Structure 1
Amino acid sequence: MLGERPYVISIAGFDPSGGAGILADVKCFEQHQVYGFGVCSALTVQTDDHFISCEWINAEQIITQLEPLFAKFRISACKIGLIKDIEVLLQVLFFIRAQNEDIKIILDPVLKASAGFQFHQWSMTQLNSVLRYIDLITPNYSEMLSMGSAETAEETAGLLAAHCPVLLKGGHNIMAIGTDLLFENTDVFELKPRFVSDRQKHGSGCVLSAAITANLALGHTLNDACKHGKIYIEDFLNSNSTLLGYHSYDR
């Protein structure tokens, strides 16, 4: 029955190819047997390998979509992906926290499309204003380097971890490809891959953060949710030889 599954929500862009954003997140949620809602934060025109344009949805429009969902359902976890800017993000976060103080919020900072389009250039100062309201941020190495002034992504992640946990994704780390680092309080946990894949997938960052969101809603600890999410994304990356991955979860 529907009520037996936790409710989760994705606030993200609409990607017509279904590889990233809301469509990818809801596919991932369904595989994890959580019920996924989707709220649009941007209308994009793109394929798996070509980004054409983006039309932003403002904070009022996002909140209007959220209001009836939070009024009717107890939502356990929320993943936020592509969003216009920090100001819009803050307004959305304030609304969500006002509805449910205990909800788990995961921020996947989409700064650049996999096809090369640059969305944002967020700084540490801007991020510090939002980190207190979220439970995990999931940047990759390139994003982490661009957001801080430290020499390494690990140093910047350590600074951010003073405000909230950080999952530093290792797909772009040529020194240890596929090894993720979870910074939680003063601890750092190394999440090694079962195997290193040379296959790329459009929207892989979206899918990983959605998998972690689903696992948190299912009651897993943050550490275990990241481990389960890593297994899911590895299978997704190796599901076929194209840029559009297949969602499948063997429990």
Structure 2
Amino acid sequence: MQQLRPYVMSLAGFDPSAGAGILADIKCFEQLQVYGFGVCTALTVQTADVFLKNDWLDAGQIIDQAAPLLGKFEVKACKIGLIKDQDTLLEVLAFLKLKAPGIKIVLDPVLKASAGYTFHNWEESLEKLAPVLSQLDLITPNYPEMQVLAGNTAAQEAARAWSAYCPVLLKGGHNSTAAGTDYLFEAGGLRILKPDVQQVYQKHGSGCVLSAAITAALAKGQDLYTACFFGKKYIEQFLNSSPSLLGHHQL
């Protein structure tokens, strides 16, 4: 008898190139044998290397999409990507926690498209970000995102401070001193995830795919460190799946 797959949800932007956002997340979810639902948070016009425009969806529009799914299915984990602003995020988080109290939530704080377009600048004090962070199971900034979000504080210092509110996976793709080395900051300490490959091909949407892979692993019952370790190995394969900016999903 076949078993039902765990249900997961992506709240993310629609990227027509399918390299990032909802379409990339759903491809990742399918490869990892979880059933993915997609909730659109923004409509973008782009290719892998050119960004033309973006139209935001507000909190009510996002919630309207998610409500019937959460009412019918037990969604184990949710990945949140591109979203308009902190007020929208807080309203959506409150809804998710109300409808699915045990849901695991991973936030990939998308501030800038890989093609160079800046969506928003969320520079805030830690006190103002605390209501968001305290509702998350993981946040996955890269070094530039961490520095912007923390007001140009050193990335590792900021990640350590944030970990008092939620775990932080500081991605190492922009780490100038240890390229490809990720740092998982938790309230109880630090774990280092070193790369298994020496060189990779850069990919459009790599941050989306990493956070989606971690979300899938959490939905399947893995602990946070194991999920992050698995996600790192998955993204390394994704990055080297093709020499182009668009990768292939594979195990």
TM-score normalised per structure 2 = 0.97
Q: Does 1:18 align with 2:18?
A: yes
Question: What does residue 4 of structure 2 align with?
Answer: 4
Query: CA 1:3 to 1:55, structure 2 compared with 1: closer, same or farther past 3 Å?
Result: farther
Q: Distance in 2 between matches of 1:10 and 1:69?
A: 12
Task: Please say if residues 108 and 139 of structure 1, whose CA atoms lie closer than 8 Å, have aligned partners that are also in contact.
Answer: yes
Q: Does 1:51 align with 2:51?
A: yes
Question: What does residue 208 of structure 1 align with?
Answer: 210
Question: What does residue 65 of structure 2 align with?
Answer: 65
Q: Does 1:218 align with 2:220?
A: yes
Query: CA 1:147 to 1:2, structure 2 compared with 1: closer, same or farther past 3 Å?
Result: farther
What is the CA-CA distance between 1:166 and the residue it aligns to? Answer: 0.2
Q: Which structure 2 segments of 5+ residues have no match?
A: none
Task: Please say if residues 141 and 169 of structure 1, whose CA atoms lie closer than 8 Å, have aligned partners that are also in contact.
Answer: yes
| Residue deviations 1:208-230 (CA, integer Å, cap 9, x gap) | 00000000001100000000000
SS at match of 1:105: strand
TM-score normalised per structure 1 = 0.97
Q: Does 1:99 align with 2:89?
A: no
Query: CA 1:70 to 1:46, structure 2 compared with 1: closer, same or farther past 3 Å?
Result: same
Q: Does 1:29 align with 2:29?
A: yes
Q: Distance in 2 between matches of 1:46 and 1:149?
A: 29
| Residue deviations 1:13-61 (CA, integer Å, cap 9, x gap) | 0000000000000000001100000000000000000000000001000
Q: Say how many residue pairs are matched.
A: 249
Query: CA 1:2 to 1:138, structure 2 compared with 1: closer, same or farther past 3 Å?
Result: farther
What is the CA-CA distance between 1:199 and the residue it aligns to? Answer: 1.1
What is the CA-CA distance between 1:151 and the residue it aligns to? Answer: 4.1
Q: Distance in 2 between matches of 1:192 and 1:29?
A: 24
Task: Please say if residues 78 and 104 of structure 1, whose CA atoms lie closer than 8 Å, have aligned partners that are also in contact.
Answer: yes
Question: What does residue 238 of structure 2 align with?
Answer: 236
Question: What does residue 247 of structure 2 align with?
Answer: 245
Task: Please say if residues 200 and 236 of structure 2, whose CA atoms lie closer than 8 Å, have aligned partners that are also in contact.
Answer: no
Q: Distance in 2 between matches of 1:50 and 1:98?
A: 38
